[in-house]
Amino acid sequence: MTVKEKIYEIVAKRMKVDVSAINDDTQLKKDLNADSIDIVEIIFELEELYTIDIDDSYAEQINTIGDAITVVEKIINDSQ
């Protein structure tokens, strides 16, 4: 499963929406009504899954699902 597919799955499960209802441009707060706790828990799950650390400067950049994919892929690539 790709990073993108896994993030879609995590967000869909957390926000109780079907994976087909989201895309890279889906905004976590505006489109999915995610609050700050939802976003923190999504980030925490990604950190655990990929054994990475998403610091606050990166976390603040995550507004859309595409942003989350970009951040996670960058951290993974930078750590290799």
* pLDDT tens-digit readout, 51-78: 999 999 999 999 999 999 999 999 999 9
* pLDDT tens-digit readout, 20-61: 999 999 999 999 999 999 999 999 999 999 999 999 999 999
| DSSP codes of every residue in 61-75 | T--BHHHHHHHHHHH
What's the CATH class of domain 3-78? Answer: mainly alpha
d(CA 8, CA 2): 10
**Candidate list 24, 35, 56, 67, residue with the active-site label:** 35
pTM given for the model: 0.92
Task: Tell me if residue 35 is catalytic.
Answer: yes
